Amino acid sequence: MINLVLFGKPGAGKGTQAEFLKSHYQLVHISTGDVFRFNIKNETALGKLAKSYIDQGDLVPDQVTIDMLEAEVEKNLQAKGFIFDGFPRTEAQAQSLDAFLAKKEMAVSGTIALEANDDELVARLLKRGETSGRSDDQDEAKIRNRFDEYNEKTAPLRTFYTAQNKFHSINGIGSIEEITQRLMAVIDSL
């Protein structure tokens, strides 16, 4: 079983790459963003709560995210593994993920950070915002606030996973195919 955590700043390409990896390795892709967007579109209670944070460019609180993730794993226990995209975002979430997976006799196999500079990511997100309709992709100040949130809360995961010998960093700039090849080289080495 392969359980991967993909992380990187908003716009780094996690969702795009997860689609290729999901197909190639026959994994279940759990994107917290996709699950939140589904709930927002359908105006569920969780969706309304998540939207209030997302519209401000803030991260959704840990407990809401953790409960949602556990439900997604429970629905797919027959899977060959999972790609966690957008989770964990904090060390507390990483510890919760480890504890939950241990109860299921699973573990995180590796974490891969897609690295790209902020100006490149701002350009990507503003372009995505032209068609996505996402309010948090249409305002550079909100985008940079998301980067600040990432730097403050998520970047420390590098230390957490490095201590477990599970952290890998790859260059997130280049063609989609080049980045996919870099990711597959890391995954095949796990």
Just list the catalytic residues: 14, 89, 128, 134, 146
Cβ neighbors of 133 (< 8 A, separation 6 or more) are none
Alpha-carbon dihedral 20, 26, 27, 29, rounded to 10 degrees = 40
- Give whole-number Cα distances, 146 to 8, 71, 152, in Å: 11, 26, 10
Strand partners, 111: 5, 167
**What is the C-alpha separation between 180 and 101, in angstroms, rounded?**
26
Q: Which residue has the tokens 């949130």?
A: 149
Strand partners, 6: 85, 112
